[in-house]
Chain A
Amino acid sequence: MIVSRRQFIRTGVAGSLLLAFSGWLNAAGERRLSSDERAMLAAIAAALLDGALPPAGDERSRLVALTVDGIARTIAGLSVASQREIGELFGLLVLAPGRMVLAGVGKPWREAGVGDVSAFLESWRTSRLALLQGAYAALHDLTFGAWYARPDTWEAIAYPGPPRGYF
């Protein structure tokens, strides 16, 4: 995010201060998702996948958790540079000031509803700041990638899966 750091500063002093924090948080490099990050990703996945997920309940929570596992696996397969960028983004979003200032989500991720999170995603999706738009795109691709990689999601889209039985 070397280049984007500058753009971040344009989002205001709050943004650059937050970035300093996230850099510190992620100095450790490669690591597993923290429980705060999992909660944040679960809230985001639930909003992105609303419409594909079943209504609230155990099954929905189970599928969201599987999606978060898939996101973690995808991240582990990205280049060091991409992992670092994603680490910075997550580091910002899990901090309360980051969540409130950048995402505009008042409630902690564990309590935020689909409506709150969708509003934040929508604002990033069409943001004037390329950095936020790019961050939205990353969350979009990670989540939908993790969801549709799982064969149990294919029935809903009538995809039979790859041909079997010949090999």
Chain B
Amino acid sequence: MHDPIRAGLAAGWKHIDASTLGKGQTVETDVVIVGSGAGGGVTADILSASGLRVILVEEGPLRSSSDFRMLESEAYPELYQDSAARKTMDKAINILQGRCVGGSTTVNWTSSFRTPPEVFAFWQRRYGLHQLSAEAMSSWFAVMEHKLWVRPWETPPNANNKVLATGAEKLGIPVGAIKRNVKGCWNLGYCGMGCPTNAKQSMLLTTIPAALNRGATLYTRLRAERLRFSGGRISALDCVALRPDGIHPSGKRVQLRARHFVAAAGAIGSPALLLRSGVPDPHRLLGKRTFLHPVIISSAVMPERVDAYAGAPQTLYSDFFLHQAAIDGPLGFKLETPPLHPVLYATTLQGFGAAHAALMREFTRVNVVLALLRDGFHPESQGGQVRLGRDGLPILDYPLGEVIWEAARRALLAMAEIQFAAGARAVTPVHETAPLYSSWAQAKKGIAELPLKPLLCRVVSAHVMGGCGMADAPQRGVADHRGRHFWLGNLSIHDGSLFPTSLGANPQLSIYGLVARNASLLAAELSGRPPPLIP
């Protein structure tokens, strides 16, 4: 299999693995971008295309298709934050985030949705973001869809997705097909471990190679620590090199000086960098309103093999339960079906000993449905707050309150009913005290009485958003609609942390579109070239 990253390196890309640095260094450039995920990748591509000198700073390693061997034992420690075990402060939510070149896009599941129009409408009403609407953004989404091969997925859904479709159809619940950003996908189902065939059009394969081909510099194993500023402008970014283990600082430091700085370290990472730097935050908004689409899980044992590890993940969805109430009413949820792999499933599943082993023996017959709760719209759904731990690294404090649990119960009921309608032999909510229900009637009664509390009911997330929310004024947000920080003139925020609420849709395409727009505006300003033709 051709590995375009290794080929690029051999052809002379400027990649510096900071763990190999013998001594510290100071480097000067036009723009420094922190983070190489969805936001950082798109920014690097667009700025380098307008002739700006760009440095990308990534804390994780550079890995590519030759390294992607579809093994959880390798992928989690190599490619994920905290070996895929990042937790909220009270340990009640497990957060999946990428930490490698390409960020979460290297390990994501390829589902591609535009920002829903009702979300833009809410942002206009509440945050005065009048420049952003479904119409105004549609060309930017179209540009990124074209670039990243976002297309309808024509291959029949795998059995895991089919359970969702069959059950939902029986109950008259509409189901839709999910577009995917893939080109020549082998339908393997291992997207979460890095795509071994280079089919997934992640940042690792698209925008980052484009920027490197234009002479951009990529630092890996380099952690952005602190922005230095005075008089409303940033002068430099101080970084610490990590050892090859990617965890401990090596003792070497790198200072990057530039005209402009872009924070694209992801929600959690970007607010943490700004908090560590002590940037002005008079309204105390930084790090607050961090959203997760908290995910509630329902596991079913089907009569036939499902093999949920095989075949493209997340190809069907239902938004039916997002539209049962006003957007700021009781939390709605989106239904999807994730890929299942032994470590991911075994660690998520409740219980231990013989009961756990018995459920694991059904592994190939298991179907799992997820409900992603749309947080951040209901007045009581304020999300979490990024704080700094003892070592300056971020901790997300996300209290799970009654609005979440009320929605979680509706979601568990909806998923169990769908799974039984699809012919499930048994269904269990992923919850420490939930039994295996053998009929819908039993599940309905049982779930109604289930105690829903942190650490009893499993909650996970792969969609971190917010913490540097956009708004029309500094009283309401950290940055404006262009991602420009309200207080520091040469700081932009270009990642998922900009969203003032969650989305109710998987976030990657929302980030690509918004950042393509904002990076284009920034490129015009910094390079003195005309602004983009798209409004």
Known: A78-B85, A157-B363. 4 other contacts (CB 8 A): A47-B352, A125-B432, A138-B91, A144-B349
| Chain A, residue nearest B82 (CB) | A79
What sequence of 0s and 1s flags, for each residue 330-365 of chain B, a beta carbon within 8 Å of any chain A beta carbon?
A: 000000000000110111010111111110110110
* Contact status B85-A141, CB under 8 Å: yes
Tell me the count of chain A residues lying within 8 A, CB to CB, of chain B: 46
Which residues of B are found within 8 Å of A112, using beta-carbon distances? none
Q: Does A16 contact B (CB under 8 A)?
A: no
| Chain B, residue nearest A74 (CB) | B83
CB distance from B390 to the nearest CB of A (A): 6
Q: Once the chains are docked, how many angstroms separate the CA of A159 from the CA of B353?
A: 20
Q: Does B73 contact A (CB under 8 A)?
A: yes
CB distance from A114 to the nearest CB of B (A): 8
Q: Once the chains are docked, how many angstroms separate the CA of A148 from the CA of B76?
A: 13
CB distance from B453 to the nearest CB of A (A): 9
> Do A48 and B353 form a contact, CB below 8 Å, given A77-B83, A78-B82, A157-B363?
yes
Q: Does B450 contact A (CB under 8 A)?
A: no
Which residues of A are found within 8 Å of B71, using beta-carbon distances? 149, 162
- Chain B residues 180-227 with CB under 8 Å of chain A are 186, 188, 190, 196-197
Tell me the count of chain B residues lying within 8 A, CB to CB, of chain A: 55
* Contact status B455-A145, CB under 8 Å: no
Q: Looking at the complex, which one of B87, B90, B245 makes contact with A76 (CB distance below 8 Å)?
A: B245
CB distance from B290 to the nearest CB of A (A): 17
Q: Once the chains are docked, how many angstroms separate the CA of A118 from the CA of B309?
A: 31
| Chain A, residue nearest B342 (CB) | A148
Q: Looking at the complex, which one of A3, A49, A77 makes contact with B247 (CB distance below 8 Å)?
A: A77
Interface residues of B (CB under 8 A from A): 1, 69-73, 76-77, 81-83, 85-87, 89-92, 186, 188, 190, 196-197, 245, 247-248, 309, 342-343, 345-347, 349, 351-358, 360-361, 363-364, 389-391, 393, 395, 432-433, 454-456
CB distance from A47 to the nearest CB of B (A): 7
Q: Does A137 contact B (CB under 8 A)?
A: yes
* Contact status A157-B389, CB under 8 Å: no
Q: Kindly name the residue among A49, A77, A83, A166 whose own CB sees the greatest number of chain B CB atoms within 10 A.
A: A77
Write 21 A-B pairs (CB below 8 A) sorted by A numbering. Answer: A2-B390, A52-B356, A74-B77, A79-B82, A80-B248, A81-B389, A118-B353, A125-B351, A126-B432, A130-B454, A133-B455, A134-B92, A137-B91, A148-B343, A157-B363, A158-B363, A159-B342, A162-B188, A162-B190, A163-B188, A166-B186
* Contact status B1-A167, CB under 8 Å: yes
Q: Looking at the complex, which one of B70, B86, B360, B393 makes contact with A163 (CB distance below 8 Å)?
A: B70
* Contact status B70-A159, CB under 8 Å: no
| Chain B, residue nearest A30 (CB) | B248
* Contact status A134-B90, CB under 8 Å: yes
> Do A159 and B361 form a contact, CB below 8 Å, given A79-B393, A134-B455?
no
Which residues of B are found within 8 Å of A157, using beta-carbon distances? 342, 360-361, 363-364
* Contact status A126-B433, CB under 8 Å: yes
Which residues of A are found within 8 Å of B1, using beta-carbon distances? 167
* Contact status A82-B82, CB under 8 Å: yes
Dominant SS at the A interface?
A: helix
CB distance from B510 to the nearest CB of A (A): 28
CB distance from B268 to the nearest CB of A (A): 12
- Chain A residues 37-59 with CB under 8 Å of chain B are 47-52
- Chain A residues 125-167 with CB under 8 Å of chain B are 125-126, 130, 133-134, 137-138, 140-141, 144-145, 147-150, 153-154, 156-159, 162-163, 166-167
Q: Looking at the complex, which one of A2, A50, A130, A153 makes contact with B342 (CB distance below 8 Å)?
A: A153
Smallest CB-CB A-B distances: 7 pairs? A51-B357, A162-B70, A134-B91, A77-B77, A51-B354, A148-B342, A149-B73
Q: Kindly name the residue among B86, B247, B352 whose own CB sees the greatest number of chain A CB atoms within 10 A.
A: B352
Which residues of B are found within 8 Å of A49, using beta-carbon distances? 352-353, 357
| Chain A, residue nearest B356 (CB) | A51
Which residues of A are found within 8 Å of B92, using beta-carbon distances? 130, 134
| Chain B, residue nearest A46 (CB) | B353
* Contact status A154-B196, CB under 8 Å: no
Q: Looking at the complex, which one of A130, A138, A156 makes contact with B361 (CB distance below 8 Å)?
A: A156
Which residues of B are found within 8 Å of A19, using beta-carbon distances? none
What sequence of 0s and 1s flags, for each residue 62-101 of chain A, a beta carbon within 8 Å of any chain B beta carbon?
A: 0000000000001011111111000000000000000000
Q: Kindly name the residue among A76, A126, A159 whose own CB sees the greatest number of chain B CB atoms within 10 A.
A: A159
CB distance from A158 to the nearest CB of B (A): 5
* Contact status B347-A145, CB under 8 Å: yes
CB distance from B57 to the nearest CB of A (A): 18
Q: Looking at the complex, which one of B89, B354, B393 makes contact with A50 (CB distance below 8 Å)?
A: B354
What sequence of 0s and 1s flags, for each residue 12-23 of chain A, a beta carbon within 8 Å of any chain B beta carbon?
A: 000000000000
CB distance from A1 to the nearest CB of B (A): 10
| Chain A, residue nearest B432 (CB) | A125
Q: Once the chains are docked, how many angstroms separate the CA of A163 from the CA of B91?
A: 34
Q: Once the chains are docked, how many angstroms separate the CA of A75 from the CA of B516?
A: 38
Q: Once the chains are docked, how many angstroms separate the CA of A50 from the CA of B357?
A: 8
Which residues of B are found within 8 Å of A78, using beta-carbon distances? 82-83, 85, 247
Which residues of A are found within 8 Å of B188, using beta-carbon distances? 162-163
Q: Once the chains are docked, how many angstroms separate the CA of A52 from the CA of B390?
A: 39
Which residues of A are found within 8 Å of B342, using beta-carbon distances? 148-149, 153-154, 157, 159
Which residues of A are found within 8 Å of B364, using beta-carbon distances? 157-159
* Contact status B455-A130, CB under 8 Å: yes
Q: Once the chains are docked, how many angstroms separate the CA of A133 from the CA of B186?
A: 41
* Contact status B361-A149, CB under 8 Å: no
* Contact status B360-A52, CB under 8 Å: yes
CB distance from A72 to the nearest CB of B (A): 13
CB distance from A8 to the nearest CB of B (A): 14
> Do A159 and B432 form a contact, CB below 8 Å, given A74-B77, A80-B247?
no
Which residues of A are found within 8 Å of B91, using beta-carbon distances? 130, 133-134, 137-138
